Amino acid sequence: MTTLPAPLVLASGSTYRASMLARLGLDFAIDPADIDERPVPGESPRELALRLALEKARVVAERHPEACVIGADQVAGLDDGRILGKPGSVDRAIEQIREMRGRRVTWHSGIALLGPGLERSDVVDTCIDIRRLGDEEIRRYVEIDRPLDCAGAMRSESLGIALVDRMASDDPTALIGMPLIRIAAWLRTAGFAVP
């Protein structure tokens, strides 16, 4: 008799993360975690991404103790360690991209997988060198792509790729906030058939 893996739950209301996880062909439920996502004093962008991914997974795992729960969060950080959040407005998006131009920005994608007898967590980084952009290019990009709900005000999966000089990561899906290479490996270890 084959033992089926535990149910799978995504601890996120992000449509981006849900569509990314759906690429693995697994059935999963969505149960967003409601946590305070503000950084604590002295916390680095990388530490924040990992803490938030774990907290989201833990909150949802308490509601679904029989399930495997995936928590994820992404934090963009400038080369000086400053955190770039989701801009929320056109003016703030333009301001963030002005700060980013000509600099290296790292998107830290924190992930966690919790389940019965299982706890894994990690951060997958994507380092991006942003082009030296003119103000008109920045304004035009923000008006067209509307990256107001994206960490660092950039959608690499659409027009945001035009802002980039160079990109480096172990996992090309990490920049969209769901590092599928790592998650797929973890899920296989937990008994899920991927592929």
pLDDT digits (tens, 9 = 90+) for 114-171: 999 899 999 999 999 999 999 999 999 999 999 998 888 998 888 999 999 999 999 9
Maximum Cα–Cα distance for the chain, whole Å?
63
Active-site pick, 31, 36, 73, 165: 73
Instruction: Report pLDDT digits (tens) over 70-91.
Output: 999 999 999 898 999 899 999 9
Look up residue 119 and give its two tokens: 């706890």
Q: Is 73 a catalytic residue?
A: yes
Contact 145, 158 (CB under 8 A): yes
d(Cα 103, Cα 121) in Å, to the nearest integer? 28
| Strands 29-30 and 8-10, bridge-based pairing | parallel
Contact 56, 35 (CB under 8 A): yes
Instruction: Report pLDDT digits (tens) over 37-70.
Output: 999 999 999 999 999 999 999 999 999 999 999 9
Where are the chain's structural domains?
8-189
pTM of the model: 0.90
Instruction: Report pLDDT digits (tens) over 90-113.
Output: 999 999 999 999 999 999 999 999
Main-chain phi, psi angles of 49, to 5 degrees? -60, -45
* CATH fold for domain 8-189: Maf protein (3.90.950)
Question: What pLDDT is recorded for position 1?
Answer: 36
